[in-house]
Amino acid sequence: MSKISIIIQREYLTRVKKKSFIIMTLLAPLFMAAMFIVPVWIMTRDDAEEKVIAVVEDETNLFKDVIPNSKYLKFEYLVDVTLDDLKTNFSDKGYYAVLHISPKVAYIPNAVQLISHKQPPLDLTIHIANALEKEIEQKKLEAYDIKDLDKILKAVSTNINVQTIKISDDGIEKETSTGLAMGIAYIGGLLIYILTFIFGAQVMRGVIEEKTSRVVEVIISSVRPFQLMMGKILGIGLVGLTQFVLWIIITAIIITAAQSFLLPDDIGQTTQAITENIMSSTPVEQTQVPIQTQEFNEIQQVFNSLHSINWGLILSSFLFYFLGGYFLYASLFAAVGSAVDNETDTQQFMMPITIPLILGLFVAMGTFQNPESSVAFWFSFIPLTSPIVMMARLPFGVPYWELILSMIILILTFLGTTWLAAKIYRTGILMYGKKTTYKELWKWLRYKN
């Protein structure tokens, strides 16, 4: 077995066996899955409790039984009861709230009051408002006394949905969803940023650990410093990859398991299709689903957009940019680790590393507003920011030549930085005591082997 693979093995196994790795690997998907599941769960479960609402008027009886009951909302219209009778004791009588409608409601929007002990949910007030608006509009229209008004209204009623379709240069049409693209861009960019930071910092800490424990001198009497550095970078990179793949698998399992007994069937199938689609990671052929304006189905639209995303391209680009960005930054982190005696001294050298990373994230966030902006364009080529920015641009569609050029620049740059970092590393790991300056680093760069 070659030395570098022995080193990779150690770096990988010691980290993967750690409790913190196992905990993070299991917990993160739980959070991710919770992000998908909890909102849906809340939507379906929140109003499980039946609420009875007393409706009172000031002796006009204009709105008797106007407000329809829903699954969890019951409206009880009380005749000959005034608000004052109920105001203090409505909860004793089993009412969740009292709705008071004043006759002035046709002219004064504020003339409707809902009195309750707790803050009523938004959908309750919307439900009431909608019903009353409809009734009052109806009444007002009747006052005009137009024949066949209902038919006319039905005939003029229109519903518009803007369907966004992108045509590529070769004329293939794709239905797109800006919202979905944004979501993927956001997750992709942010994940690269976070992973680069987490695992880059691990490389740095590993180098500092070897240096402060003085084990480094023993090891580089057996292997070349470059082998030690690369072994560490590759080993930790594999840890990152392992964790990422496990995250995806575990998240998918949790979501699939959760949806089977949490969600109604139609949504369930959609999410399942989404997960399957992501997991198989092959671009799904665009199936032209006819969209009827009358029965517009939002979920259907999301489903179509999901098909329009080239998952194979996104996932393989993600892997590439994760590894490329990681290698680039990890070698810099390794150089910083070698130049200091302990972690607190790293700050002065961390600045030039963290600034491009954070800048990349900012540009990526701007990309969501305008994916075609020239800032996003240029920053997706600059290798220090390209992994984040290009991942943010990708879901909106990027010409292949741009993608390939950006990748080539990234590869060339990380080869260059690794070479430079190795020079600093080789000298730095044997330097103790003296506080390193930038001038010193420059000198180390110019040392002969």
Tokens standing for 87?
A: 């105001």
The residue length of the chain stands at: 449
Least separation, in Å, of the C-beta of 440 and another protein? Answer: 9
Which residue, 221 or 374, has its beta carbon nearer to another protein?
221
Which residue, 195 or 429, has its beta carbon nearer to another protein?
429
- Angle CA(208)–CA(209)–CA(211) in degrees, nearest 5? 65
326 neighbors 197 (Cβ within 8 angstroms): no
Which residue, 29 or 206, has its beta carbon nearer to another protein?
206
Least separation, in Å, of the C-beta of 213 and another protein? Answer: 4
Least separation, in Å, of the C-beta of 165 and another protein? Answer: 57
Q: Phi, psi at residue 387, to the nearest 5°? A: -60, -40
Which residue, 89 or 449, has its beta carbon nearer to another protein?
449
Closest CA to 98 of 52, 130, 61, 58: 52
Closest CA to 421 of 400, 444, 439: 444
Closest CA to 390 of 184, 84, 165: 184
Burial letters 286-302, b for 16+ CB under 10 A, else e: eeeeeeeeeeeeeeebe
Closest CA to 73 of 99, 91, 47, 93: 47
Cα 381 from Cα 406, distance rounded (Å): 5
Least separation, in Å, of the C-beta of 233 and another protein? Answer: 17
Q: What is the dihedral of CA 80, 81, 83, 86, to 10 degrees?
A: 180
Tokens standing for 120?
A: 């009523």
For CA atoms 344, 347, 353, 356, the dihedral sign is positive
Which residue, 206 or 360, has its beta carbon nearer to another protein?
206
Cα 328 from Cα 413, distance rounded (Å): 7
Which residue, 104 or 224, has its beta carbon nearer to another protein?
224
Closest CA to 127 of 181, 204, 72, 164: 72
Least separation, in Å, of the C-beta of 425 and another protein? Answer: 13
350 neighbors 339 (Cβ within 8 angstroms): no
Least separation, in Å, of the C-beta of 25 and another protein? Answer: 19
Which residue, 213 or 288, has its beta carbon nearer to another protein?
213
239 neighbors 15 (Cβ within 8 angstroms): yes
Which residue, 6 or 409, has its beta carbon nearer to another protein?
6
Give residues in contact with another protein (CB under 8 A): 1, 3, 6-7, 10, 14, 209-210, 213-215, 217-224, 430, 432, 443, 448-449
Least separation, in Å, of the C-beta of 8 and another protein? Answer: 12
Which residue, 147 or 439, has its beta carbon nearer to another protein?
439
Which residue, 10 or 166, has its beta carbon nearer to another protein?
10
Least separation, in Å, of the C-beta of 371 and another protein? Answer: 45
